[in-house]
Amino acid sequence: MTITGGCQCGAVRYRIEGALGRASLCHCRMCQKAFGGPFGALVSARRAGLIWTRGARATFASSNKVERGFCAACGTPLTFEYAGDWMDIAIFTLDDPSVAPPTVQLSPEARQGWIDHVADIPVRDLSEGQAGAEHYASIVSNQHPDFER
Ligand SMILES: [Zn+2]
């Protein structure tokens, strides 16, 4: 199985060879900050199976035990790297994030209570109405597509 992924702008791309390991959601304050979101979604992969196919990640040592990789051009969080043969990849940088459904949650002490009720939050279709439709039709994306090019 070969899995590909990369950052939003496409300056950094990678390929993962071999099976993925544990997929997790981490609610700790460090992951909240690093991802700018309610949790980090990470899946482990063998360090030897991760091949950087374009560009290079920048890193920030968020502690004495961990380096977090990211794209220096667009800021996308990419990795969570610790000592050993495995490291973690940010699940939503995979070209197909559905291959890594989380199976465990970590650091529940910082978990936001509203996460239990996400399905109850009202949904609004941003493309509704003429102005919305015209606005969305006028958007030109600079995001790298979810495949190699
Ligand atoms: Zn980028």
- CATH number of the domain at 81, please: 2.170.150.70
Question: What pLDDT score does 54 carry?
Answer: 97
CA of 18 from ligand 1 middle (Å) equals 24
Q: Which residues pair with 60 in a beta bridge?
A: 68
Tell me which residue range forms the domain holding 58: 2-116
CA of 119 from ligand 1 middle (Å) equals 31
Which of the two residues, 128 and 46, has the higher pLDDT score?
Answer: 46
What is the total count of domains within the chain? 1
How far apart (Å, rounded) are the C-alpha atoms in residues 107 and 111?
A: 7
CA of 8 from ligand 1 middle (Å) equals 5
CA of 130 from ligand 1 middle (Å) equals 33
Q: How confident is the model at residue 2 (pLDDT cuts 50, 70, 90)?
A: confident
**Residue 128 pLDDT exceeds 80:** no
CA of 95 from ligand 1 middle (Å) equals 14
Question: Is this prediction's pTM over 0.85?
Answer: yes
- Asked whether residue 16 is domain-assigned, the answer is yes
Q: 54: closest CA among 134, 140, 130, 149?
A: 149
CA of 136 from ligand 1 middle (Å) equals 23
CA of 134 from ligand 1 middle (Å) equals 28
Q: How confident is the model at residue 149 (pLDDT cuts 50, 70, 90)?
A: confident
pLDDT (tens digit per residue) in 59-111:
999 999 999 999 999 999 999 999 999 999 999 999 999 999 999 999 999 99
SS3 114: helix
- Asked whether residue 123 is domain-assigned, the answer is no
CA of 74 from ligand 1 middle (Å) equals 4
Q: How confident is the model at residue 28 (pLDDT cuts 50, 70, 90)?
A: very high
- Asked whether residue 44 is domain-assigned, the answer is yes
CA of 73 from ligand 1 middle (Å) equals 5
How far apart (Å, rounded) are the C-alpha atoms in residues 40 and 21?
A: 16
Q: How confident is the model at residue 134 (pLDDT cuts 50, 70, 90)?
A: confident
